[in-house]
Amino acid sequence: MKRPLLLPGLLLLSFAAFAQHAKVVPNPALVPTEKAQFVKSEELSAECLGLRKFQDIDTKWMRTVGSRSIEHGAPNKSELDRRKAEKTRLKFENVSREQNPEVANPLATDPVVGTNFLGNELFNGTPADNNMAISNGGIIVSADNATMEVYDGDAQDPYLFTLTAHSDFFNFLNPAPTGNIYDPKVLYDSGADRFIYLILHGTSSQQSELLICFSQSNNPAQDGWWVYRVQANQAHPGSWFDYPNIGVSNNEFYVSGNMFTDAGQNSGNILFQIEKNACYNGQNINYQYWANVVDQTQETAFTMVPLSWGQQGNYGPGVLLVANETSEPSDRIMVFDLTDDMSSSNEQLNAYSANTDFFDVGGQAAQSGSNVLLDIGDNRIQNGFYLNGTIHMVFTSDIGQGWNGINYKRINVSNMNVQGSTFGNVGSFDYCYPAVASSGSDQNDKSVIIGFLRSGQTIFPEFRAVNCDHNMQWSNSVQVKAGEDDVNIGGQSPDRWGDYSGISRRNGANRTVWASGCYGMSGNNFGVNNGWNAWIAELTDGGSPGAIEEEETSQPVRVFPNPAIDQFSVSFDMLKRADINVSIYDMEGKLVKVLLNDNLKPGGKTVQFNRNALTSGTYLISVTSNDKIISNEKLVIN
C-alpha cells in the first residue's frame, strides 16, 4: 500500500511547439445526414467556481466507502443479456485443454514494460472505471471511482499527491455535491500543455451534472484546477447523464454521454461543445450542446467517442466522433463530423456509415478460484484517436465461440474505408476493456500500443498490453500486472469488471505510451477483500516501425517563398512513382483549391503556382501520396 507524500517543488520543461493540424474531411461524394435531424442548443455560459488546489483540502483520506456499481438500462438490454448468457454457455463448452497461441505468426515487436507502480486503490466498489493521462513533462493524473491522484513518472518515488477522494475535492462547491461522484475521465491537451479532468455527479434527473476541471499549469499537483459545473441534462430534463467520453481539438473541449430516465431507460444522447482556452485561465465557459444524435439509418448513437489528435498538438476546426452498435450484431461504424468550431455559427454535425466486418457480443468471463463471472459489457467503442486522416479505435467483441477479444479498426476519413483486425485467444481467455494510443515515430506511422484486461478459468483478472504495427501486424501480448486474487464484491455473478482502461501517449519520448488497468488484488485493502486496484505502467514497443509507405514515396516538402506575394513553389523528391495530390486549405480546414492531382515519376519535383484569387492570409498546403498525408505546410500570402 502506498503512502501519501508532501508536495515537492518541481521544475518542469514545457513542450515548446503548439502543433495545429488540419482535419481531413469526408469526400463530398459521401452524402451525410442533414443537420436538421439533431437538436442544437443556443450558446450558453457557465462561470468558473474557483481554483481548487490539493493543498487546500483538509481531509486527505476518503471520508466514505464507495458504493456498488450503478445499475441502469441500455438499448435492447434484455436481448443483450440473453445473447451473452447463450454465448457464455457456448464458450464453456469449448474450453481448450491446452493454451492456444494469441497470434500464429507474431511479426510486430513485443511491448516492453518500463517504470510501473501501484495506482489508484478502489474502496469496496466495482467497476474501477480507471482512467489516466501523462504530460510531455512526465506528470501523470490518474483516477478511478474513488480517488484522483497525481504522480511524477520520472521520479524514483512517483507519488506527488494521493488518496484524495472526489467528495473531499469538490466539497468547497456551494451547494456541495451530495450524490454519487463517478466515471472520471482525464485528458492531457498537448497543444496547450494542460490537463482536463471530468467526473459525473448524480444518478437522478435532479442531481445530474458535469464537474469539469482545467489545470492552471502543466502540474496540477502544484498549481491546482479551475473548477466548473454544468447541468448535464439540459436537453433531457427528466433524465441523467452517464457513460462519458471526452476529446479536444485546436480550440474546443468535447463531452459526450448517454441519457437515462430515473427508471433506468435509455432516453437519447448529448454532446457538449465547449470553448476551452478561456477555461485554462479561470474565465467563464462558453458552450453549446447537440442532442438526440442519429446516424444515416436513424439509429441513435449510443456512446459517442470524440477523437483527439493522436500525437503532439491538436487538429480542427471541429472534431470527429465514432460510435457503433453496442447491443446488437452489426457490420458498420458510425462516424460523425462536427464541421467547425461553435464560434463559426454555421457548424454542422454530419453522420456517415463505415462498413466493416460483422461483430457481436461474447459471453461472460471466468476467473480462477471462483464461480463468480465477470461482466464483459458490450460492443461499445472503448477508446480511440484521430491521426493524419485515419481514425483508430478499439472495442471488445466475440472472436469465436463466445470468446471475447480486441477488435481494432482503422477508418480512412476521406472515403470511410475500414481496415480491421482482432486479437485474442479462443478457448482459453477473454480479452476486454481495451484502450489504444499511438506509438508511431511520426504522424505517418500507424503503429499503436493497446492496453487491456484479461481473465480466464486458470488466471486471476490481469492487465496486459500488445503492439499492432504500421502494417497491422500483431506482437505477442505481455503481462503488465498479474492478478493476485479473484474478484467478488457482494457475491453477485456476473460482477462488474473494468469498465474502462486508461492510456496516453507521452510525446517526446521515443515510441512510448503509459497505461492504467485494473487487476484482482489480494489481501485486506482498507477493509476490502477480493477487490480491484489499478496499476500504472510505461510501455514501449522496443523496435522500429513497420514499412511506411509514405516515407518510401517522398522526402520532406518545402514551400517557398514563404511568405509569398505573386507566386509560390512546392518542392519534394519522389523515391518511386506514386499518385500525388497538392491542395490548399484555409485555416478553418476548408478546401480552397486542388493545385495538383497527378501520377508522378521518381525524381526531384518543383511545382510552381500563381496566387490567383487567394486573399492575403495564412493557408495550409497539404501534400498526399496514394491518399496518405505526407506533409502539411503553412503558407502565408502577403
Residue 627 belongs to a domain with what CATH number? 2.60.40.1930
User: Does 39 reside within a domain?
Assistant: no
Express each pLDDT in 32-45 by its tens digit.
655 546 889 999 99
User: Does 33 reside within a domain?
Assistant: no
Express each pLDDT in 370-394 by its tens digit.
999 999 999 999 899 999 999 999 9
Give ∠ CA 322-325-328 in degrees, rounded to 5.
170
Residue 169 sits in the same domain as residue 50: yes
Of 282, 277, 281, 322, which is closest to residue 303 (Cα–Cα)?
322
pLDDT at 67: 41
The answer to whether residues 208 and 70 touch, using CB atoms and an 8 Å cutoff, is no
Instruction: Choose the final residue of a domain: 540, 568, 594.
Output: 540
Q: Render 187-235 in DSSP notation, one character per residue.
A: EEETTTTEEEEEEEE-SSTTT-EEEEEEESSS-HHHH-EEEEEEETTTT
User: Does 337 reside within a domain?
Assistant: yes
The answer to whether residues 205 and 83 touch, using CB atoms and an 8 Å cutoff, is no
Structural domain including 414 reads: 20-28+44-540
Residue 172 sits in the same domain as residue 66: yes
Q: How far apart are CA 380 and CA 243, in angstroms?
A: 10
Residue 445 sits in the same domain as residue 588: no
Residue 523 sits in the same domain as residue 590: no
Express each pLDDT in 126-155 by its tens digit.
889 999 999 999 999 999 998 899 999 999
Q: Is 13 exposed, middle or buried (0-12, 13-18, 19+ CB in 10 A)?
A: exposed
In angstroms, what CA-CA distances link 637 with 225, 251, 364, 567, 588? Answer: 40, 24, 60, 9, 16
Residue 578 sits in the same domain as residue 473: no
**H-assigned helices in 32-114:** 77-92
Residue with cell 509507405: 549
* 613 compared with 315, residue with greater pLDDT: 315
CATH of the domain at 290: 2.130.10.10
Lowest pLDDT segment from 63-72, 330-339, 517-526: 63-72
Around 498, how many Cα atoms within 13 Å sit in the side-chain half-sphere? 28
- Given a cut of 90, is residue 4 above it in pLDDT? no
Residue 148 sits in the same domain as residue 266: yes
Instruction: Choose the final residue of a domain: 474, 507, 540.
Output: 540
* 618 compared with 555, residue with greater pLDDT: 618
Q: How far apart are CA 395 and CA 452, in angstroms?
A: 10
Express each pLDDT in 494-508 by its tens digit.
999 988 999 999 998
User: Does 516 reside within a domain?
Assistant: yes
User: Does 13 reside within a domain?
Assistant: no
User: Does 12 reside within a domain?
Assistant: no
Instruction: Choose the final residue of a domain: 540, 570, 598.
Output: 540
Residue 210 sits in the same domain as residue 147: yes
Of 325, 474, 463, 308, which is closest to residue 384 (Cα–Cα)?
308
Residue 211 sits in the same domain as residue 276: yes
Residue 240 sits in the same domain as residue 298: yes
User: Does 38 reside within a domain?
Assistant: no
Residue 260 sits in the same domain as residue 178: yes
Q: Render 484-505 in DSSP notation, one character per residue.
A: -S---SSS-SSEE--S--EEEE
Over range 597-609, report the average pLDDT.
Answer: 78
- The number of distinct structural domains making up the chain is 2
Can you give the pTM of this predicted structure? Answer: 0.83
User: Does 3 reside within a domain?
Assistant: no
DSSP state at residue 33: P
Residue 369 sits in the same domain as residue 492: yes
Q: Is 167 helix (H, G, I), strand (E, B) or coil?
A: helix
Over range 518-529, report the average pLDDT.
Answer: 78
Residue 241 sits in the same domain as residue 365: yes
**Which grid coordinates belong to 17?**
511547439
Give me the sign of the Cα torsion angle 472, 473, 474, 475: negative
